Amino acid sequence: MSGKLIIFSAPSGAGKSTLVQYLLGCGFDMEFSVSATSRAPRGTEKHGVDYYYLTPEEFRQKIDNQEFLEYEEVYQNCYYGTLRSEVERITGQGKNIVFDVDVVGGLNIKKEFGDQALALFIAPPSIDELHKRLLNRGTDSAEMIEKRIGKAEFEMSFAPKFDVVVVNDNLELAKAEAERSIREFLKK
């Protein structure tokens, strides 16, 4: 494997997807690793671009076939995971890979790849601010927002296990901090 792995994890609504999209345009010769999920697409999301959308049955079949580098059942019948084929496809081109994954998945990838991977945790400034962001995003039901807030409190406890923690209180500062961390990592 010639490319390095850059892992972004965060509670839902902390801004990791926004940061990843920004960093993909910063000249790091990296490609986004499209994750698989069993949830339905949101808004204008597209299969093969935002996620590989699978039914829960298809997802479980791929688990049985050991096709995932990592996966998690985040909520009942709502899986997320990284297909091994996606990592092989990108590393086969000699590119760096950027992951946008949940905290458990991020730590699992870091554990498997060690110094070849940089794990960044994107933290919201507070749980109250996270709640406001999820409401303003307008993509989830009130019930799902409450589930995401409950999970966020748990996920925040994993932050110290990551290589870098970026508090996304100011998006421009968070972009600069993440960019600097990646530049330093890729020089090694």
Q: In which residue are the tokens 């993440």 written?
A: 178
The length of the chain, given as a count of residues: 188
Q: Are 124 and 130 in contact (CB under 8 A)?
A: yes
User: CA-CA distance, 35 to 163, in Å (whole number)?
Assistant: 22
Q: Which residues contact 20 (CB under 8 A, 6 or more apart)?
A: 8, 32, 98, 100
- Token readout for 140 is 């989830």
The pLDDT profile of the chain, 188 residues, written as one tens digit per residue, is 578 999 999 988 788 889 999 999 999 999 999 999 999 998 999 999 989 999 999 999 999 999 999 998 878 899 989 999 998 889 889 899 999 888 988 999 999 999 999 999 999 988 888 888 888 888 888 888 888 888 888 999 999 999 999 999 999 999 999 999 999 999 98
pTM recorded for the entire structure? 0.84
What domains are defined for the chain?
Answer: 5-187 (3.40.50.300)
Closest-CA residue to 14 (of 181, 159, 126): 126
